[in-house]
Structure 1
């Protein structure tokens, strides 16, 4: 099975695929597919890697993933513990605008929706203040069939197309054209860094995972991710720090810093602000204010 290129099974009598998943953890490998994917995280937390960027996700989040956008929902390490009783639960909607829906999106009345789809190849996260209405429409699609399901699907697209100031998940205007071999190698590198982020990791350690010299690895990694090794590692660590800070269950910011692989609070504060454009305390204040507004 190819790690990157997936084919979503499409029933002969369906143009919109609704898939409910309940698993011990998310599928752990970087992959992509021709179908647009809308995923509602009903239960679970971890890190979403979309092309060359990463985002902390938690229960209630909804993500739109464009055509052939490489991605992986990586469950938190605790989900892989042999004693873990945790599980993830998602509701997913898949559709291919170049498949059976192709002629539908050529209708002049659907022009605005088609333009919206073409402009969202890099994906987005549904803003928190709109997740309730979007998830409600996704449930209507799940619970209906035939013409009713298609009508609810069109209503969902209309609803999503009205959202303002959507931030792209990927900074690339077009998804990267990875080969299967490159996809496996990049996925292995991502998995290693995301599992070892809280420990000292050297360039030599990661280069060994890719079976490269450090110099060759630096060129390869920058070409395929637009990140240096250090910048990617810092983003992983800051992403994990953001999850811990937003959970609110920590002794001190210094403890969070050390638990995320930083060896000094000064360096943590500097890197945190360079990645998030906020200090750790400003981030916490901003997060809980946004939660209060969404509620």
Structure 2
């Protein structure tokens, strides 16, 4: 089995590293890096796991991933089928928080931005903003000192945004070791691949090379969720995708295709997770589209 590196190095040749990718799918392994990452999903859909946070990502979403925060952008299955017109388009901006704090952010005019950056441990999802996306595009298009100037504008805009959604409720996961990171990646890979069928506690414990009791404690420690809770959340996220696509015959059909054993359990878990029943979720989506 190939060992996937957990801590990914980022080029140190520049203070601000910009990476634009048009690829079949996102890099689909749990990983981290010491740099803060601003991620604009220009085009693509899937599941984002960051610390103890999980939700679907959609085209147009903008996220900030904290330094050393383990994360995984898992593209939807359709992106792994080799279709030429199914590609993701992403723009990533990486910067070293410590390096900026020691130099650029020491200017008195940068106090507000510095305080904001210091609180980025858990990452965040930014609300829809054309201003932020346009400024990200300016950072990509600029070079040398002009890129730095555009980047400062971007940090200013982000630091003044309201209604920011944190990506995690704690930052304990940032202390995870390389070995634990690779083990958690193996667990996540198994779950996101097999969630449509029944996965027993014994089965997933064997994947992690732990006893069932030890696995429960281990998983709770690193995700702040129970195994069943995490698996149900993953299934509900996939159910939401099916519901908004309209490609289903009934809610019983959605239940079966996302791994729930019966529609009653599906309705209960869905409402507990989303706060609305599947039928209410579909109604609200249709009203929003109209």
* Fold equivalence (TM over 0.5): yes
- Residues 67 and 97 in structure 2, CA contact (< 8 A), matched pair in contact too: no
Aligned to 2:5: 3
Aligned pair in 2 of structure 1 residues 109, 22: CA closer, same or farther (>3 Å)? same
Secondary structure of the equivalent of 1:189?
A: helix
Aligned to 1:143: 141
Aligned to 2:262: 264
Q: Which stretch shows the higher mean deviation, 238-247 or 40-49?
A: 238-247
In structure 2, how many angstroms separate the alpha carbons of the residues matched to 1:9 and 1:290? 42
Q: Any idea what the Cα deviations from partners look like across 1:191-248, whole Å, max 9, x if unmatched?
A: 1011111111111111111122212211211122211111111011011111222233
1:159-178 residue pairs with structure 2 within 5 A?
159-178=157-176
Aligned to 1:57: 57
In structure 1, how many angstroms separate the alpha carbons of the residues matched to 2:139 and 2:113? 18
User: Does 2:80 correspond to 1:80?
Assistant: yes
Aligned pair in 2 of structure 1 residues 65, 143: CA closer, same or farther (>3 Å)? same
Aligned to 2:181: 183
Q: Any idea what the Cα deviations from partners look like across 1:231-270, whole Å, max 9, x if unmatched?
A: 1110110111112222333322222111101121111111
Structure 2 residue runs of 5 or longer lacking an equivalent are: none
Structure 1 residue runs of 5 or longer lacking an equivalent are: none
Displacement of 1:44 after TM fit? Answer: 1.5
Secondary structure of the equivalent of 1:275?
A: helix
1:202-281 residue pairs with structure 2 within 5 A?
202-281=200-279
Secondary structure of the equivalent of 2:56?
A: strand
Q: How many residues align?
A: 287
Displacement of 1:49 after TM fit? Answer: 0.5
In structure 2, how many angstroms separate the alpha carbons of the residues matched to 1:113 and 1:179? 30
- Residues 3 and 30 in structure 1, CA contact (< 8 A), matched pair in contact too: no
- Residues 250 and 256 in structure 1, CA contact (< 8 A), matched pair in contact too: yes
Displacement of 1:79 after TM fit? Answer: 2.2
Aligned to 2:30: 30
Aligned Cα root-mean-square deviation (Å): 1.8
In structure 2, how many angstroms separate the alpha carbons of the residues matched to 1:213 and 1:200? 19
Secondary structure of the equivalent of 1:240?
A: helix
